């Protein structure tokens, strides 16, 4: 009889100082991250699929493609509608795929995936992601993609961690210094360009108590520190969790988890670094045209205090 294993595959356990993390074979997802034994991101059981994209990598596109239809290089394509409720294609093609571990140490793991052509995406990419824990600086994630095919490919990426400080986010203060956000229609597709956050409940500059706000929008015009990093912070219950994203990520999606399964609803704040906004395959906004043999990548991370 073969060995019985969890449906998310191998569990890669990392440790450094007060931090512990678990990365899954399935989707190379961040299943768990703790600091001094307390959850820093919303987690799930190893033998259950990640609910609401918990900790998943979103490649070769983040967020949604309107009805899964797009045109690239003069050709029209139809992706599978992986979000039936809104008839959209959502969060790429790799979040359930088995990623192979190619290098591992106590504090880090590198996983890889060769993505072959798929329905509506007849392109070939090779991905590598490295998760590294630092005792002082927390988690750093670096994702890279190479076009190993014969034709240019449309590309963008993102990630989907839910930050948590152990109390409902209604009681928490969120900070994201961003000048603009993308409104969406009733199918979660942006109908136009970003608009200023001024005077709206989407304004998180300087820190705002989330209260009953329901947010599911991409932000841009991000303030950055001297290292080019944009920061988002969630504070409450005497704890603070911070996510940073490098300059490869001009967009950060914020989602108040108001529609996820009841057991975790509004217990975490999704903060999603993205290289392009929702529906970029259609609009072309910040979409990368990745030439054969070309590489692209970006880094983000999470710290706790």
Spatial distance between the Cα atoms of 66 and 85, rounded to a whole number of angstroms: 12
What is the domain partition of the chain in residue ranges? 11-304
Q: What would the DSSP string read from start to end of 292-305? A: TT-EEEEEEEEEE-
- Report whether 164 contacts 40 (CB < 8 A): yes
Report d(CA 170, CA 15) in Å as an integer: 31
Q: Which CATH class is domain 11-304?
A: mainly beta
The pLDDT of residue 4: 84
pLDDT given at position 145? 98
Three-class secondary structure of residue 52 per DSSP: helix
Question: Phi, psi at residue 40, to the nearest 5°?
Answer: -105, -25
- Please list, in sequence order, all residues whose beta carbon lies within 8 angstroms of the beta carbon of residue 185, skipping any fewer than 6 positions away: 191
Q: Taking the C-alpha atoms of 114, 43, 160 and 104 in order, what is their torsion angle to the nearest 10 degrees?
A: -40
The pLDDT of residue 1? 65
pLDDT tens for each residue of 93-126:
999 999 999 999 999 999 999 999 999 999 999 9
Ordered per-residue pLDDT tens for the chain, 305 residues: 678 899 999 999 999 999 999 999 999 999 999 999 999 999 999 999 999 999 999 999 999 999 999 999 999 999 999 999 999 999 999 999 999 999 999 999 999 999 999 999 999 999 999 999 999 999 999 999 999 999 999 999 999 999 999 999 999 999 999 999 999 999 999 999 999 999 999 999 999 999 999 999 999 999 999 999 999 999 999 999 999 999 999 999 999 999 999 999 999 999 999 999 999 999 999 999 999 999 999 999 999 99
The two tokens of residue 51 are 């609910």
């Amino acid at each position: 009889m073969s060995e019985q294993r969890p449906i998310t595959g191998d569990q890669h356990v990392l440790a450094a100082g007060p931090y512990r993390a678990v990365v899954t074979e399935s989707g190379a997802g961040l299943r768990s991250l703790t600091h001094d034994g307390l959850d820093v991101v919303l987690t799930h059981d190893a033998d259950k699929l990640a609910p609401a994209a918990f900790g998943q990598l979103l490649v070769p596109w983040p967020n949604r493609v309107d009805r899964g239809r797009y045109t690239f290089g003069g050709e029209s394509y139809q992706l599978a509608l992986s979000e039936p409720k809104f008839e959209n294609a959502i969060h790429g093609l790799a979040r359930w795929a088995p990623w192979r571990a190619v290098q591992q140490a106590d504090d880090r793991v590198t996983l890889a995936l060769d993505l072959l052509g798929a329905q509506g995406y007849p392109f070939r990419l090779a991905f590598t992601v490295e998760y590294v824990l630092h005792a002082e600086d927390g988690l750093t994630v670096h994702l890279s993609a190479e076009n190993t095919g014969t034709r240019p490919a449309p590309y963008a990426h993102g990630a989907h961690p839910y930050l948590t400080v152990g109390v409902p986010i209604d009681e928490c203060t969120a900070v994201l210094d961003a000048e603009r956000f993308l409104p969406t229609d009733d199918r979660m597709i942006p109908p136009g360009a970003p608009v200023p956050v001024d005077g709206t409940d989407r304004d998180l500059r300087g820190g705002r108590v989330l209260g009953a706000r329901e947010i599911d929008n991409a932000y841009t015009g991000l303030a950055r520190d001297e290292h080019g990093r944009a920061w988002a912070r969630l504070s409450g219950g005497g704890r603070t969790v911070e996510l940073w994203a490098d300059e490869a990520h001009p967009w950060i999606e914020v989602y108040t988890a108001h529609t996820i399964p009841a057991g975790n609803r509004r217990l975490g704040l999704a903060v999603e670094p993205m290289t392009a906004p929702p529906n970029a395959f259609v609009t072309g906004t910040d979409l990368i045209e990745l030439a054969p043999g070309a590489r692209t990548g970006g880094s983000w991370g999470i710290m706790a205090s």
